[in-house]
């Protein structure tokens, strides 16, 4: 996920992550990266300007009909917007305030409730509160020691009868020496099934470079 530097002074996600992690801060570098990108000093490597294609296909086949959806790590808003368009009452949250503000600027008439919140310390009222929970390539950007907490939060959001969709980079598909992503093993993906959450399906996608998994409670 490291940025492809186009200039010698470019700030990279790998550098920021390394410094933040050394200081014991697993997520502080995201705000730094978004801030640097707004100044033209960095590139956001995951910015696609379009929703995740597997999520878009899933949403087209599963209309929301007003059900509640939560998008973890909402970044610039493409994924929450596709769910809102499919009829979900959608909340998108990100730990980086600059990303949340950028999503709100991009979609000024949005029905999405954008929030600044931390997956590692989420609002208690989100517990078991969402019929659809979407976790796409966020946990893989967190160091392994905080992963169990992040995964427990995701599982905790899911309401009875709901669906959680999880997509992460698969282990051994990338060189992790330079920084994030830190891919997940199949067992790590399966570990979202906890606290009453059950695995429905898991499959490798995109030539085995990613996991796509569905869960229910
Ligand atoms: C690799 S990006 C993925 C963004 C988006 N989900 C996507 O598929 O493109 C990770 C996102 O998660 C956010 N993030 C990282 N740690 C977080 C945390 N503890 N709580 C909430 N969001 C977090 C980052 O700010 C960033 O926007």
Q: Is the CB of 52 under 6 A from ligand 1?
A: yes
For 161, residues 6+ apart whose C-beta sits below 8 A from its C-beta are 131, 216, 217
In a domain? residue 47: no
In a domain? residue 196: yes
In a domain? residue 167: yes
Domain that holds residue 93: 53-216
| Best probe residue, ligand 1, of 99, 138, 176, 184 (max atoms within 8 Å of C-beta) | 138
Which atom belonging to ligand 1 lies closest to the Cα atom of 142?
16
Q: Is the CB of 102 under 6 A from ligand 1?
A: no
In a domain? residue 165: yes
0.75 surpassed by pTM: yes
In a domain? residue 41: no
Residue-by-residue pLDDT tens, the chain, 217 positions = 444 444 455 778 888 877 877 778 878 889 999 999 999 999 999 999 999 999 999 999 999 999 999 999 999 999 999 999 999 999 999 999 999 999 999 999 999 999 999 999 999 999 999 999 999 999 999 988 899 999 999 999 999 999 999 999 987 666 656 678 888 999 999 999 999 999 999 999 999 999 999 999 9
Measured in degrees and rounded to the nearest 5, phi and psi for residue 200 equal -100, -45
Contact criterion met (CB below 8 Å) for 74 and 94? yes
In a domain? residue 8: no
In a domain? residue 97: yes
């Amino acid at each position: 996920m490291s940025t492809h530097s186009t200039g010698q002074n470019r700030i990279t996600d790998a550098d920021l992550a390394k410094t933040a992690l050394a200081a014991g801060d697993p997520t502080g570098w995201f705000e730094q990266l978004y801030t640097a990108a707004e100044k033209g000093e960095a590139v956001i490597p995951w910015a696609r300007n379009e929703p995740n294609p597997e999520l878009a296909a899933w949403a087209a086949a599963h209309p929301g009909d007003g059900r509640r959806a939560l998008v973890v790590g909402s970044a610039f808003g493409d994924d929450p917007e596709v769910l809102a368009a499919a009829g979900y009452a959608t909340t998108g949250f990100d730990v980086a305030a600059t990303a949340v503000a950028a999503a709100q600027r991009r979609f000024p008439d949005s029905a999405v409730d954008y929030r600044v919140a931390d997956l590692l310390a989420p609002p208690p009222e989100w517990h078991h509160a969402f019929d659809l929970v979407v976790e796409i390539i966020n946990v893989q950007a967190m160091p392994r020691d905080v992963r169990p907490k992040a995964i427990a939060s995701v599982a905790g959001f899911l309401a009875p009868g709901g669906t959680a969709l999880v997509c992460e980079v698969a282990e051994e598909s990338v060189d992790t020496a330079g920084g994030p992503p830190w891919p997940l093993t199949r067992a790590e993906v399966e570990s979202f099934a906890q606290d009453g959450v059950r695995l429905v399906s898991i499959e490798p996608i995109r030539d085995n470079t990613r996991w796509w998994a569905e869960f229910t409670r």
